[in-house]
Structure 1
Amino acid sequence: MDHLNSPLTPFEYDAFLFDLDGTLLDTADDLGAALNAVLKSQGIARVSPDEYRKAASNGAGALLELGFKEQWATQPQTERIKQLVDYYSQNIAKHTRCFDGVEPLLIALENQNIKWGIMTNKPGFLTDPLVAAIPALKNASVIISGDTLTEAKPSPMPLLHCAKLMDVAPSRCLYIGDAQRDIEAGKAAGMQTATALWGYIPSLDDALGWDASFNWQSPIDGFNHI
C-alpha cells in the first residue's frame, strides 16, 4: 500500500500522537480565567466562554487581542502577555479536564500496545506541570513541547522527532489535532491526520477544509482506527 497517498488501515498504526489543548484537554476555562484576570486589572470587560473558547488554541497574544480589541495595539504587549502567563501558570489545572472519550481511547491504545504521545506548541514550562496534573496522561510515551526543538508546528520537525523517539516510522503514525497547523505539520511529516472537531476549531467548514485524512466528531471515533 502507498502510505503517502491513502489512509492506513486500522491495524497499520503503530502510534497515535496528539495535540494537547483542544484535543486531549479542555483547557479553555483556565486560559479564559487568566485572560479575564488581566482584563479586570485594566478595567476592561470580561470575555465570555463562548468567545474565548474560539481563541484558546492560538496563544496568549491572540487571547489578549480578543479581550482588549482595538486597545491591544496600544498596550504594553510583552507585559500583558507575561501577566496572563503568570496567572495561568499559577492556576494551570483548576478547571482543565480531559475531553469526554479521551481517557477510554488512551486506555484502549495501551491495551493494544499502541504507543501514544503528545506534541504541543505549548512551551515546556507550562506543558510539563499541566500533563503532570492530569492522571490520564501519565503513560504518554513521549511529550514534546513547542520549545523543545528550534521549530514548532506547522513545521514537521517536532512530529518527526516524536516518531524517532518512539521508534516508529512516521508513515505508521496518526496525528490528531484541532488546528490547521496540526494538520499541516502531520501531512508534512508524512503522517496520517485526524481533525479533532470537538476542539477549539474556528468553524466546522474551516476545519473540514484542512483536508485531514479523517474528521473525528469525538475521541470515540478513534476506536475505529485501533
Structure 2
Amino acid sequence: MASSQTPTSLVNYDAFLFDLDGTLLDTADDLGAALNAVLRSQGVDEVTSDVYRPAASNGAGALLEAGFKTLWPEQAQSTLIKQLVDEYAANIANQTVCFSGIEPLLIALSHKKIKWGIMTNKPGFLTDPLVAAIPALKDASVVISGDTLAEAKPSPLPLIHSAKLMGVDPKRCLYVGDAQRDIQAGKAAGMHTATALWGYVPSIDEAVSWNANFNWQSPIDGFNHI
C-alpha cells in the first residue's frame, strides 16, 4: 500500500514529531531479550520475535502478557513488570537500531532547518539513556517522555507541550507514530498525523483504519513533506 493521498499530501511542515519505539527505533529485540529473561526465571518457555514484536510498543504489561499467555492472570504481575523493566534498563541499547530510512530523513530535516523532536510514552528514566545511546538522535529539538507531564498519549497535552517548546504551531507539525494512541493524540493536538507502517502495528488494515492523514510504508515517504 502506498502512502495515502489526501488534500494534505503536498503540505510541508515546520516541525516533525516522532514516537520512539516502533517509529524511530527498532527496540523490539532488546525488549524481547528482557521478556525472555523473565520467562526463563519463571520456568516458562521463551518466545520468538513474532510473539513479542507486535507488543513492543505497548509497555511491559503487554509484553509479559504476550509471553506468559494464559498464565499471565495468575502471575505476580507488579513484581514481574519491575523485573522486566530492570532487565531492559540494564541492557537498553544492545540490539536497538534506527529503522532503515530514519537517519536519512532526520539528516534531511536538519539540513532543511526543519525542527524535529521525540514524544514517547516511555518513562524518562528509560527514554533518556536510550536516546543518548543512539547518535542519530542527538539533534532532537525536544525529547518528551511519558512521565514528563501528568498525562501521556492518547492525551494531546504532551504533543502540544512539545510544539510549544519547539516554537511551532501544532497545525504546522506532523506527528509520526505506530500506535493508535499516537494518531489519536496527534489529531487531538491539531497536528497532521502519519502512521509508521514499518513499526509494531497490529496489522496494516487495522493501522489504516486509524485514519491518519498519511500511511507511510517507509520513512522515505517523509521526504515528500520537507
Q: TM-score, normalised by structure 2?
A: 0.96
State the alpha-carbon separation in 2 of the partners of residues 90 and 63 from structure 1: 17
In the other structure, the counterpart of 1:85 is 85
Counterpart contact for 2:15–2:174, Cα < 8 Å: yes
Matched residue of 2:17: which SS? strand
Matched residue of 1:221: which SS? helix
State the alpha-carbon separation in 1 of the partners of residues 42 and 209 from structure 2: 38
Matched letter for residue 11 of structure 2: P
Does residue 10 (structure 1) correspond to residue 14 (structure 2)? The answer is no
State the alpha-carbon separation in 2 of the partners of residues 29 and 8 from structure 1: 34
Counterpart contact for 1:105–1:220, Cα < 8 Å: yes
Matched letter for residue 60 of structure 2: A
In the other structure, the counterpart of 2:58 is 58
State the alpha-carbon separation in 1 of the partners of residues 9 and 158 from structure 2: 22
Counterpart contact for 2:10–2:224, Cα < 8 Å: no
Counterpart contact for 1:123–1:145, Cα < 8 Å: yes
Counterpart contact for 2:194–2:214, Cα < 8 Å: yes
Cα drift, residue 70 of structure 1: 1.5
Matched letter for residue 194 of structure 1: A
In the other structure, the counterpart of 1:172 is 172
In the other structure, the counterpart of 2:195 is 195
Q: TM-score, normalised by structure 1?
A: 0.96
In the other structure, the counterpart of 1:141 is 141
Matched letter for residue 220 of structure 1: I
1:77-125 Cα deviation digits (max 9, x unpaired): 1100000000000000000000000000000000000000000000000
Q: Percent identity?
A: 75
State the alpha-carbon separation in 2 of the partners of residues 71 and 135 from structure 1: 39
State the alpha-carbon separation in 1 of the partners of residues 114 and 11 from structure 2: 11
Counterpart contact for 2:197–2:218, Cα < 8 Å: yes
Cα drift, residue 7 of structure 1: 2.1
Q: Residues 166 and 7 of structure 1: is their aligned pair in 2 closer, same or farther, counting only changes over 3 Å?
A: same
Across the two proteins, how many residue pairs are aligned to each other? Answer: 221
- Unmatched tracts of structure 2, length 5 or more: 1-5
State the alpha-carbon separation in 1 of the partners of residues 184 and 10 from structure 2: 21
In the other structure, the counterpart of 2:46 is 46
Cα drift, residue 6 of structure 1: 4.9
1:184-221 Cα deviation digits (max 9, x unpaired): 00000000000000000000110000000000000000
Does residue 132 (structure 1) correspond to residue 118 (structure 2)? The answer is no
In the other structure, the counterpart of 1:95 is 95
Cα drift, residue 8 of structure 1: 6.6
In the other structure, the counterpart of 1:161 is 161
Counterpart contact for 1:30–1:95, Cα < 8 Å: yes
State the alpha-carbon separation in 2 of the partners of residues 175 and 160 from structure 1: 11
Counterpart contact for 2:23–2:199, Cα < 8 Å: yes
- Unmatched tracts of structure 1, length 5 or more: none
State the alpha-carbon separation in 1 of the partners of residues 80 and 46 from structure 2: 15
Matched residue of 1:154: which SS? coil
State the alpha-carbon separation in 2 of the partners of residues 98 and 183 from structure 1: 21
Counterpart contact for 1:8–1:192, Cα < 8 Å: no
Matched residue of 1:222: which SS? helix
Cα drift, residue 44 of structure 1: 0.2
Does residue 76 (structure 1) correspond to residue 76 (structure 2)? The answer is yes
State the alpha-carbon separation in 2 of the partners of residues 96 and 40 from structure 1: 22
Matched letter for residue 34 of structure 2: A
Cα drift, residue 74 of structure 1: 1.1
Matched residue of 1:10: which SS? coil
1:8-62 Cα deviation digits (max 9, x unpaired): 7433x10000000000000000000000000000110111111110100010000
State the alpha-carbon separation in 2 of the partners of residues 183 and 87 from structure 1: 30
